[in-house]
Amino acid sequence: MSLDSVSLDVDLRALAGVPKTEVAQKAKDFKTDQEVRWCPGCGDYVILAAVQGFLPELGLRRENIVFVSGIGCSSRFPYYMNTFGLHSIHGRAPAIASGLAASRPDLSVWVVTGDGDALSIGGNHLIHALRRNVNLTILLFNNRIYGLTKGQYSPTSEIGKITKSTPMGSLDFPFNPVSVALGAEATFVARTIDSDRAHLTSVLRAAAAHEGTALVEIYQNCNIFNDGAFDSLKDPETRGQWLIPLEHDAPIRFGADGSLCVVRRDGDLCVVRTDSVDAAEVIVHDAEADNPSLAFALSRLPGQDLRYTPVGVFRSVRRPTYDRLMADQIAQAELTGDADLGALLRGQDTWTVRATASA
């Protein structure tokens, strides 16, 4: 099965308020003159190229696109995008981007973050951005390690991880970013992998089209401190058996010729051989279901070794966005209210002291 077939209606309602370019763009229009300073072989290069290659499709004016990031290797991303960019402080990009997007509906606002930035120091901002549903696209580069601080375990590292700060193995249980996002009332949650440009692009397209906060978890290889973290999902030997491409409205089958499938057993989802069950038993993916239960159950399929990792769009539902609701309230107030500054300052009870007054 092809991984580049994430098929959701792309109506770009999310970007309706953003001015369009009159001149066709190319990937190179989004490149800056800055030397890219990631380590050679870093997965970030692939993601950067995919984003630069994909943005011309949206046809937005470059000056109306803003990339906001926090701190970490991935957060250097804005420096390499020829748009407006803000490299902020650790963990706070979703908050900063929320203020920008809420006050400027004419901008396409992107957040680039990592597993440490988004899920450790910035966990609070991430979950609140997701529930608030401001029109933002959050790209979470998950390499399951701290790169910029040189190799400590991260909140997505598998338990028992041996690192510089955990010589006998890490003790804390990791987050599953997709589960976190779904639990945080996200309206759009997807996962993709740096090594599959076509799939990455298709997920970016769906995320850009989503009106509201879209979270895209991108498995990204750190070849210095956690090399091969996702090899089992990339290796042709295992990839077919371990990776589950999700397609909206399609039965969840994967592996060679769809030999494996997802079914429900005793209330839980599990993977079985397709020929061992009735076709009607195979779970049909519904990313647009109002209830996130199925998406959440899918997010729980993989174990710590990443076997049975679903990729693609887990959830994509419509809910009014914060920025739109905020703009509506202001429009309504402007329509019905009186913006008379003089009257505001005077208030209800005034008294006048005249020059001739004597007391």
Partner 1 sequence: MAKQVQQLDRVVIRFAGDSGDGMQLAGDQFTSETAVFGNDLSTLPNFPAEIRAPAGTLPGVSSFQLHFADHEITTPGDAPDVLVAMNPAALKANLPDLPAGRDIIVNSDEFSARNLAKVGYASNPLDNDALDSWRVHKVALTSMTIEALKDTGLGKKEAARAKNMFALGLLSWMYHRPTDGTLRFLEKKFAKLPQVAAANVAAFRAGWNYGETTESFGVSYEIKPAVMKPGVYRNISGNLALSYGLIAASRRSGLPLFLGAYPITPASDILHELSKHKAFGVRTFQAEDEIAGIGAALGAAFGGALAVTTTSGPGLALKSETIGLAVSLELPLVICDIQRGGPSTGLPTKTEQTDLLQAMFGRNGEAPVPIVAAQSPGDCFDAAIEAVRIALTYRTPVFLLSDGYLANGSEPWSIPDLDRLPQLTADFAVATDEPFLPYERDPETLARPWAVPGTAGLEHRIGGLEKADKTGEISYDPANHALMVGLRQSKVDRIAQSIPPLQVDDPSGVARVLVLGWGSTHGVIDAACHRVRRRGIPVAQLHLRHLNPFPADLGGLLRSYDRVVLPELNLGQLALLLRARYLVDVIGINQVSGMPFRAADLEDSLWDILQGVDT
* Residues within the interface to partner 1 (CB under 8 A): 19, 32, 34, 61-69, 71, 78-79, 81-89, 92, 95-104, 106-107, 124-125, 128, 326, 329-330, 332-334, 336-339, 341-342, 344-355, 357-359
- Residue the block writes with tokens 């490149």: 31
How far is the C-alpha of 352 from the C-alpha of 348, rounded, in Å?
A: 13
User: Based on CB atoms, which residue is closest to partner 1, 267 or 347?
Assistant: 347
Q: How far is the CB of 61 from partner 1 (least distance, A)?
A: 7
Q: How far is the CB of 147 from partner 1 (least distance, A)?
A: 16
* Cβ neighbour number for residue 185 with a 10 Å cutoff: 15
For 61, 65, 106, 221, the CA distances from 17, given in Å and listed in that order, are 12, 12, 5, 35
User: Based on CB atoms, which residue is closest to partner 1, 2 or 124?
Assistant: 124
Q: Which of 64, 77, 87, 88 is nearest to 31 (CA)?
A: 77
β-strand partners of 219: 142, 193
β-strand partners of 68: 86, 111
> Is the distance from CB of 185 to CB of 312 less than 8 angstroms?
no
How far is the C-alpha of 52 from the C-alpha of 70, rounded, in Å?
A: 20
How far is the C-alpha of 282 from the C-alpha of 192, rounded, in Å?
A: 23
Q: How far is the CB of 136 from partner 1 (least distance, A)?
A: 10
User: Based on CB atoms, which residue is closest to partner 1, 80 or 175?
Assistant: 80
Q: How far is the CB of 76 from partner 1 (least distance, A)?
A: 9
User: Based on CB atoms, which residue is closest to partner 1, 65 or 218?
Assistant: 65
Q: How far is the CB of 43 from partner 1 (least distance, A)?
A: 21
Q: How far is the CB of 63 from partner 1 (least distance, A)?
A: 5
User: Based on CB atoms, which residue is closest to partner 1, 153 or 322?
Assistant: 322
In b/e form, how buried is each residue of 191-220, taking b as 16+ CB within 10 angstroms? bbbbbbbebbbbbbbbbbbbbbbbbbbbbb
User: Based on CB atoms, which residue is closest to partner 1, 307 or 324?
Assistant: 324
Residue 18 identity (one-letter amino acid): V
Q: How far is the CB of 215 from partner 1 (least distance, A)?
A: 16
User: Based on CB atoms, which residue is closest to partner 1, 10 or 86?
Assistant: 86
